[in-house]
Amino acid sequence: MPPVRPALDAQTWKEIAYLLANLPMSLFGFMYVMTVMVTGASLTLTVVGLPLLALGLAGARLSGRFERARARLLLGLRIEEPSPLPMRRAGGPLARMWLALKDPVAWRTVLYDFMRLPWGIATFTVVLPSLFLLWPVLPYVARVLTNADRAMVRALLSPSDELERRIAELESDRGVVVDTAAADLRRIERDLHDGAQARLVNLAMGLGLAKEKLLDGQADDAVAAMVEEAHGEVKLALQELRDLARGIHPAVLTDRGLDAALSSVASRCTVPVKVTADLESRPAAAIEGIAYFTVSELLQNVSKHSGARSASVDVWRAQNRLLVQVWDDGRGGARVDAGTGMRGLAERLDAVDGLFVVESPEGGPTTVTAELPWRERSGDQR
């Protein structure tokens, strides 16, 4: 709760306005509950009763949204908006009506509107005379009364519970996963189109010309040069396909696990890297892959941007979490919001309930810690 201040500042006047508006708002809410909700509840045995009650609950949701906005504007109270009801996925009209009837957010708003009338009358009758008779202590009175209002808004107009907040987070994370998968598919398509596919097209054309010359009996040095060039194109195309396959999911990670795969990544870094992996078993393939690509991206940043002379990678398990820490003695200054690479890593970890923490003061050193949930590897994962 905000502390009590004796001065009649702008915030105090906002609180006074909120308290004076409690009476008309509580009157409206009480009349809405008694007319729409009580009428709908009393007609539940008829055909129109349940639909009317469902519409009344939908209106109560709108009333709760207005009250949260009023508390946000005048009391500075930030309450997250509840998730909308998934009407499109509910099915037919009966399923949608049942979803509206069992909406806990709407029912708590109905309770809020029903019980507010006595409080609205009390705050109005206290604050209005205090404007003229008790104005030296009016800020104290306003703060005490609005603190009670804040408590009621938090208790009855907040999202349902931790599960509601968790649903919102998972919906956001699902969007991140879809966007990441789409970006990976576009990268693979671009690499195939610009790399191996173009080389294979040149190879086919070169072999076609060599075949024509051989059919014409021109087995000379030009044909030999064409075949030699085609052989070089084949090797380059194979190398690009091998690099592309390593970028999708390296074979060493599948066959030998995270320790060997990270050692392979460290060997390609331009900075000497010490790898320490303390894992008695292997995590699930998805978690192992995210850890691998996180370290790979971080070591690329070390090679390109850090100016470091040495680096280290530590991997260990702490209860039900997999922790990865990458350290370098470079110039520092790395931030999550500085570019798409770091931000993409943070979003990818957040999508699987992970954490991504960057400690990189100017002048270094830089320590990046990634924390992932430990999930046991199933028997069919290789």
Greatest mean pLDDT range, 180-184, 273-277, 336-340 = 273-277
**Per-residue pLDDT at 67:** 92
> 53, 101 in Cβ contact below 8 A?
yes
pLDDT of residue 202: 66
Answering whether pTM is above 0.85, one says no
Q: pLDDT band at residue 246, thresholds of 50, 70 and 90?
A: low
Cα 323 from Cα 327, distance rounded (Å): 13
pLDDT on residue 28: 92
- Whether the pLDDT of residue 270 is over 80: the answer is yes
pLDDT digits (tens, 9 = 90+) for 293-306: 888 888 888 888 77
The pLDDT confidence band at residue 27, using thresholds 50, 70 and 90, is: very high
Residue 95, pLDDT above cutoff 60? yes
Mean pLDDT throughout 360-372? 87
Q: What pLDDT is recorded for position 236?
A: 66
pLDDT at 242 exceeding the cut of 90? no
Q: Which residue has the higher pLDDT, 136 or 228?
A: 136
Residue 144 confidence (pLDDT) above 60: yes
Residue 322 burial (C-beta neighbours within 10 Å; 0-12, 13-18, 19+): buried
Tell me the pLDDT of the chain averaged across its residues.
78
| 230 vs 113, residue with greater confidence | 113
pLDDT of residue 13: 86
Q: State the pLDDT at residue 38.
A: 81
* pLDDT of 214: 66
Query: In the predicted model, what is the mean pLDDT of residues 311-320?
Result: 88
> Residues 6 or more apart from 200 whose CB is under 8 A from it?
233, 237
pLDDT at position 282, please?
Answer: 85
Q: What pLDDT score does 121 carry?
A: 92
Please say if the pLDDT value at position 172 is more than 60.
no
CB 299 within 8 A of CB 334: no
What is the rounded average pLDDT of the residues 325-343? 80
Q: How far apart are CA 80 and CA 85, in angstroms?
A: 15
Provide the pLDDT confidence category of residue 46 given band limits of 50, 70 and 90: confident
Across 321-328, average pLDDT: 90
